[in-house]
Amino acid sequence: MNSFTYSYPTKVYFGEKAATKNLPAELAKTGKTVMLAYGGDSIKKNGIYDELVGILKEAGKEIAEFTGIMSNPTYVKVQEGARLAKEKNVGFILAVGGGSVIDCCKIVSAQAKSDTDIWKMEFDEHRFPMAFIPMGAVVTAFGTGAEMNCGAVITHEEKNLKNGVMGAFYDFAILDPEYTMTMPMNQVISGAFDSLSHSMETYMGSPREVNYSDEINEATQRNIIRNIRAMLINPADRQPRSELVWAAAMAENGILKFGKVTDFQCHMLEHQLGAYTDCNHGRGLAVLHPMLYRHMIPEANRQFARLAAEVWGVSPDGKSEAELAESFITALSDFIKEIGLPTTLTEMGIADIDLEAIAKSTIRTDGCVKKFTDEELLAVLKECI
């Protein structure tokens, strides 16, 4: 393993009635005006909005609502939130939703404390924000694990770029699996696959020999696979969702990344696909992963072979490393079909797009075992059509 320093700032409240039990004490530490940030009307329909507004009012807070955060949050939306935060003198942000809302608010928190455009600061001046509005997250849609880190995926529509931007850590995160029970099943599966993708992308990084972080990762992947299947069998069962909520957090709280330079090449490719199409992130990953992995043979054979045996239960008896590696990709592809995710871009309604521009604008990651060229990424995208 590589050297690392670990310190984690986000307190996690996990379990039933976590908001009711813990939010009042956290709000007692905050300023007078709280920005309540969310996406659409779903939290109003399922009662979460009324519950949280009641807690905020009971705590004597003034509420500034920041609504309409879209599934792939844009930089324009970030700036809207930052302006609102400044105008209302917001002292605390409560983000309620899934990864999109949670990501958007990380950058709102930073932009509201800076007169410099955050995109320019990070990508042109190569420095990061140091002042933030304090925040808390109430997770209602799991998968991204966004509440567990300071990175945010934001789409800059003018530049046709969907990039990771560094913002604030959340002071606390409330993970009540009950809040996720009204999520549409297609959204649940998409989010859960994103968690699996995070785990695989971390696992496929370097160093590539077996290490403790990877062994924890293998257990996380097995847990996600098992509980996706259990959830599909019995959607009303709270236990699988409870497991998946925590697995999503584990996949992105840094523990699986100790001593690793991660891969995330598939995520970078999907981000640019999303920048050009505004497609669903988890579904895009499901299409891209098997195709991209086939292009990583034979460089990644050792890790593919271990995943086949340790995660997917493929017997290594009588199989070469190359055969086991192929077995992993086959098992992953079959699972994607089994859980009803798309296997082609056509299934996602994506056809007439500039694949060459997507390939050329994709970030190349240091941790990937294969250093992809524009031509190779273009070939992957064409095979996904």
Summarize pLDDT for 42-63 with one digit per residue, the tens.
999 999 999 999 999 999 999 9
Structure tokens of 161?
């770029």
- Please report the pLDDT score of residue 189 as a whole number: 97
Give per-residue burial for 66-95: e unless 16+ CB within 10 Å, then b.
Answer: beebebbbbbebbbbbbebbeebebbbbbb
Contacts of range 88-91, beta carbons closer than 8 Å, 24 or more positions apart: 88/33, 88/35, 88/64, 89/33, 90/31, 90/33, 90/34, 90/35, 90/64, 90/133, 91/30, 91/31, 91/32, 91/33, 91/34, 91/133, 91/134
Residue with the bigger pLDDT between 182 and 268: it is 268
- Please report the pLDDT score of residue 210 as a whole number: 86
Would you say 149 and 253 are in contact if contact means Cβ atoms under 8 Å apart?
A: yes
How far, CA to CA in Å, does 59 sit from each of 62, 66, 312, 374? Answer: 9, 19, 49, 54
CATH number of 186-384: 1.20.1090.10
Give per-residue burial for 281-306: e unless 16+ CB within 10 Å, then b.
Answer: bbbbbbbbbbbbbebbeeebbbbbbb
**282 pLDDT exceeds 90?**
yes
Rounded to the nearest integer, the mean pLDDT of the chain is 96
Tens-digit pLDDT profile for residues 126-167: 999 999 999 999 999 999 999 999 999 999 999 999 999 999
Question: Where in the chain are the domains?
Answer: 11-180, 186-384
Average pLDDT for residues 251-267, to the nearest whole number?
Answer: 95
- Please report the pLDDT score of residue 2 as a whole number: 72
**112 pLDDT exceeds 70?**
yes
- Please report the pLDDT score of residue 1 as a whole number: 59
Per-residue pLDDT band for 4 (boundaries 50, 70, 90) equals low
CB count within 10 Å of CB 218 equals: 18
Tens-digit pLDDT profile for residues 176-208: 999 999 889 999 999 999 999 999 999 999 999
Q: Provide the whole-model pTM.
A: 0.95
Average pLDDT for residues 25-47, to the nearest whole number?
Answer: 95
**326 pLDDT exceeds 80?**
yes
Tens-digit pLDDT profile for residues 216-247: 999 999 999 999 999 999 999 999 999 999 99
Per-residue pLDDT band for 351 (boundaries 50, 70, 90) equals confident
Separation of alpha carbons 94 and 59, rounded Å = 13
- State the CATH architecture for 11-180: 3-Layer(aba) Sandwich (3.40)
How far, CA to CA in Å, does 5 sit from each of 284, 304, 312? Answer: 33, 28, 32
Average pLDDT for residues 115-125, to the nearest whole number?
Answer: 96
